Amino acid sequence: MLIFKTKNDLNQYLLNRRRLGEKIGFVPTMGALHEGHLSLINLSKKDHETTVCSIFINPTQFTNTQDFEKYPITIERDIQLLRASGCQVLFLPEVSEMYPEGVQLKEKYELGAIEHRWEGEFRPGHFQGVCQIVEKLLLLVEPDTLFLGQKDFQQVAILKQMLQVKKDLQWIQIIAGPTLRETDGLAMSSRNLRLSPEERLQATSIYKGFQQVKLELSKGEKSLDNLCQNMEKLLLANGFSKVEYIAFVEPEQMVKIDKIQDKMVLIVAAHLGEVRLIDNYLFRS
């Protein structure tokens, strides 16, 4: 696996790959890799001659300084995992490489109302920072396909919106890989590394809540609000200190729904100790 730390070196290498007619798949990450990330690498390798992974903890998408400072860093382990997965290229830039003029938001992305819902409400400015770094990376890598994890359901929807408004990026296809879970149901996440052993056990309550909702729906429960309230009670009774939101939404613009639909997503964000966890579950009738 080749490791590049500068935009110029990566650009020169990928230029040669494109001249050979190779398809390029791209998996952007912030490191602390797990099987969910590696599944995206494997998806890319199926149809792309070159797969590029980036590891960059982007400061402009953090609305909480403490969250940024405590984000887990496991670079050596990440490199080993990527090599074992068969990833061809790792882009590992410093902050100064991506923000040579200083860390700041330079452009306002027109993302519509979805930007201010759910994650956008509790982390104002977060999606602007996400879009800024992803645009920088896409303009550099120029991939045929961008691979994202469905665990960050709203982020996937936001980036699809960004590609629609950015004419120079509209040709890039987005593929969202399914959320991978541990054997006890906990969604794989880099932030799980920050959980204590006790919190790690308590965190499984989110998946248990999804299963409880699924069971109640199968029994004929019609009130989505009741289902959300019951799940919130379950989380608070099992160690979670705060639930920011639990809601059923439609999957395109993530508008809250009150009646059962053929396709709907249950989304949740809750705090366990110092760690904020998000997850989602897609329901199809």
Ranges of H-type helices in the chain? 7-19, 35-47, 65-69, 75-85, 95-98, 119-122, 126-141, 153-165, 197-202, 205-218, 224-237
Task: Assign 75 to helix, strand or coil.
Answer: helix
Q: Is 138 annotated as a binding residue?
A: no
Instruction: Encode 242-277: b = buried (16+ Cβ within 10 Å), e = exposed.
Output: ebebbbbbebeebeeeeeebeebbbbbbbebeebbb
Q: Is 152 annotated as a binding residue?
A: yes
Q: Is 116 annotated as a binding residue?
A: no
Q: Is 128 annotated as a binding residue?
A: no
Cross-sheet strand order for the sheet of 242-249: 242-249, 263-272, 275-284
Quote the distance between the C-alpha of residue 14 and its chain's center.
25
Q: Is 229 annotated as a binding residue?
A: no
Number of residues that make up the chain: 285
Q: Is 129 annotated as a binding residue?
A: no
What type of residue is 193?
L
Token pair belonging to 275: 């760690």
Q: Is 35 annotated as a binding residue?
A: yes
For the question of residue 37 being annotated catalytic, the response is: yes
Q: Is 170 annotated as a binding residue?
A: no
Q: Is 149 annotated as a binding residue?
A: yes
Query: Which member of 37, 48, 116, 271 is catalytic?
Result: 37
Quote the distance between the C-alpha of residue 160 and its chain's center.
13
Q: Are 170 and 138 in contact (CB under 8 A)?
A: no
Q: Is 115 annotated as a binding residue?
A: no
What type of residue is 253?
Q
Q: Is 261 annotated as a binding residue?
A: no
Q: Is 284 annotated as a binding residue?
A: no
Q: Is 48 annotated as a binding residue?
A: no
Q: Is 225 annotated as a binding residue?
A: no
Please identify which residue in the block is written with the tokens 């999606």.
Answer: 127
* Maximum CA extent, the chain: 59
Q: Is 84 annotated as a binding residue?
A: no
Please give the annotated binding residues, written as ranges. 30-37, 61, 149-152, 155, 180, 188-191
Binding residues for beta-alanine: 61
Catalytic residue IDs:
37
Binding residues for (R)-pantoate: 61, 155
